[in-house]
Chain A
Amino acid sequence: MKKIVYGILATLSGLVLLFSYRTSLGEAVPTDVQPAQAAPSVATPHSAATPSASTTPTASASASASASPSGAAPAATSGLTDGTFTGSATNTRYGPVQVQITVTGGKIVDVQAVEYPTDNSRDRQINERAIPQLVSETLNAQSADIHLVSGATYTSQGYRDSLQSAIDQANA
């Protein structure tokens, strides 16, 4: 299995964080960013084709991506490698921003903006694991595992055929 390195880019900050992404297809995903400096500091034991991770943030020109995983372990169920990743502070039109994200069980479970623009500094924290996990990022279908459905607005008649109704019947 070939490894592909993905960057997580917080575009508001123009900040790049590197990730390892494992896929069963084994195809390198074409990059749409310019080759730059960052070396892959996230590596799993079976990385066949040594990926030279190189990204340049699209929003800002000067961010140097530096991912430092604390306890990297291949994720069994998704493409993201466990660990905590901190990007270097970068200047945006909103001011300097720095982001740290934490991945557990292959999911992004925490996003901390450790440095906000000084005119709008705030120390916000998500205590919940309330970060949306895109289905397209996971190798297994998670839809069978959900309890509630947001967004499929249904009329009274439509509820019977809704995904929520199907889930309710499965749980009954």
Chain B
Amino acid sequence: MSGVRVWTRELMGTVFSVHVVGDASGGPEQRAAEDLAAARFFDEVSGIERIFSTFRDDSEVSRIRRGELDFASADPRVGTVAAACDEAETATAGRFSVHWRGGFDPTGYVKGWSVDIAGAGHLEPLLREPGIRALGVNAGGDVRVWSRPETPWTWRVGVADPARRGAIVATIELTSGAVATSGTAERGGHIIEPASGRPAGGARSATVVGADLATADVWATAAVVAGAEDLSWIRGAPVASGLIVSSDGGVRRFANGVELCIVPAA
């Protein structure tokens, strides 16, 4: 017998939810620990948002963009993120970039990264509680999960159909890791191809499974920019699996560096 408790908070322009799977035996002390962990998780993400948001004039990133603050004087996390973004830009051959909108804009990296950081700091320790089996976060459609190693619990993640609201195109089962989806679903063309500055075409959405959400998010963005025709990047990318929904509704999926297709053969 197990139950899922859920907390939500508005953050980074969307809604974050924390999901805790516990045994029914969990008592009031465990529930209090869960409440506290979820609150601290949200608070840390909120603190990261205050530093990095390009929508707040007083954020450190906004001040850096206006030339009022240099990296050396900024919060050390800004330098950490900037370095990680540079690595991601190189690894994805420029398909992921924080410089496309004029100046330093790590918005596309920070959400996933904040889930990894705040999750490791405040949620993962909950797995030491005997009554807690698994933890999950959904950050506006980007998912990170953790599970106790020997637990029978498996997270089932649905991949939203970018063309049909409320429907899913695929399911992914995992106990620990991240599922990130980028694309044009529900928010319009918010993926911009860095080279051209125009909305990326060919792929409606791309979903990538990886060990952590920052990495999965980077490669989901890169996959949308690459488009539905080009899957050459999957062999070298540090991702486990994923799928691309093309603009004509077709689905291509891959795992372990190779594409998988089912073709009628009878």
Contact = CB atoms under 8 A, between A and B. Distances in A.
A154 B15 CA distance: 7
A6 B265 CA distance: 5
B89 interface: no
B17 A126 contact: no
A142 B19 CA distance: 20
B186, B236, B242, B258 interface centre (most CB from chain A within 10 Å)? B258
B127 to A, nearest CB: 17
A163 B160 contact: yes
Interface stretch (B47-55, B73-81, B171-179, B192-200): B171-179
A132 B170 contact: yes
A132 B242 contact: yes
Interface residues of A, number: 71
B183 to A, nearest CB: 7
B63 interface: no
B263 interface: yes
B83 interface: no
A120 B235 contact: yes
B190 to A, nearest CB: 8
Given A133-B171, A145-B156, A151 B185 contact: yes
Interface string B187-208: 1000000000000000001010
Contacts of A10: 258-261
Given A147-B136, A148-B155, A155-B14, A9 B262 contact: yes
B266 A146 contact: no
A7 B266 CA distance: 9
Contacts of B226: none
Interface stretch (B36-44, B99-107, B139-147): B139-147
B141 to A, nearest CB: 4
A13 interface: yes
A139 interface: no
A5 B15 contact: no
Nearest to A80: B262
A8 B259 CA distance: 10
Nearest to B204: A151
A55 B157 CA distance: 33
A130 B8 contact: no
Nearest to B180: A150
A97 B235 CA distance: 12
Contact of A146 (B142, B171, B183, B236): B171
A125 B162 CA distance: 29
B241 A6 contact: no
B62 interface: no
A61 interface: no
A150 B159 contact: yes
Contacts of B174: 128-130
Nearest to B235: A120
A82 to B, nearest CB: 16
Contacts of A158: 186
A68 to B, nearest CB: 16
A32 B263 contact: yes
Contact of B264 (A29, A99, A125, A164): A29
B263 A6 contact: yes
Contacts of A149: 138, 141, 143, 157-160, 168
Contact of A112 (B158, B176, B256, B261): B256
Given A10-B259, A97-B258, A154-B15, A143 B264 contact: no
A126 B208 CA distance: 13
6 contacts: A147-B136, A148-B138, A148-B157, A149-B158, A153-B187, A163-B160
Q: Which 7 A-B pairs have the closest CB atoms?
A: A151-B181, A151-B160, A152-B160, A159-B15, A29-B264, A146-B158, A7-B265
